[in-house]
Amino acid sequence: MLYLFAKLLLTPLAWLLMRPRVKGLRHLFFRGKAIIVSNHWSLPDPILLALVCPRVVHFMAKKELFDHPAARFALQKLLFAFPVNRKQADMASLKQAMSVLDKGWVFGIFPEGRRSVTGELDMLEKGAAFLALKTGAPIIPIYSDPRTYRKFRINMVVGSPMDAKAIAAEHRGKAADVVTQAIADKIRQLQLQMEA
């Protein structure tokens, strides 16, 4: 409820002050479950995605951020985020993400696993691909411009939905690797599209 209130209150302000320029915005108007994947360059990235996406987005965040009570409240109530242990395979967080998708909701993840120091796309983890293959949820790729705060303007490109099972159909045994590479290639294509 608090998430929805904050979204209703802050989204018009974000569109007024940061004048979002979102190419392919139509791809964010969909029904049913989906996994939103994006490059990760700043701590507020989930907030920007939540403001731009018309649907409620559930996020996964490193468990250390939940140590402070105020941060835990903001993450859980304002971003519908839940903790993940990045130092080991965290099956509990994957099950929670699958539960979100099984309910027909939207899950947001930054497959780099951490913020990029250079602003360039780092190597991706396989979690997003694994979830898409397990749940059949389409993947919505987004490239977010690292210069947003310097220009004080949200600049994103949203790609068309990706079907993980179709991508991996001819690659048994390497499905997660193939889908992960496809996600990376798509995000880089979106970057080139923005720069063009």
Task: Give percent above pLDDT 90 in the chain.
Answer: 51
pLDDT digits (tens, 9 = 90+) for 8-36: 667 777 777 778 899 999 999 999 999 99
d(CA 112, CA 121): 8
What pLDDT was estimated at residue 1? 55
> Which of 38, 41, 64 has its CA nearest to residue 49?
38
What is the pTM assigned to this prediction? 0.89
pLDDT digits (tens, 9 = 90+) for 58-92: 998 878 878 888 878 877 877 788 888 876 667 88
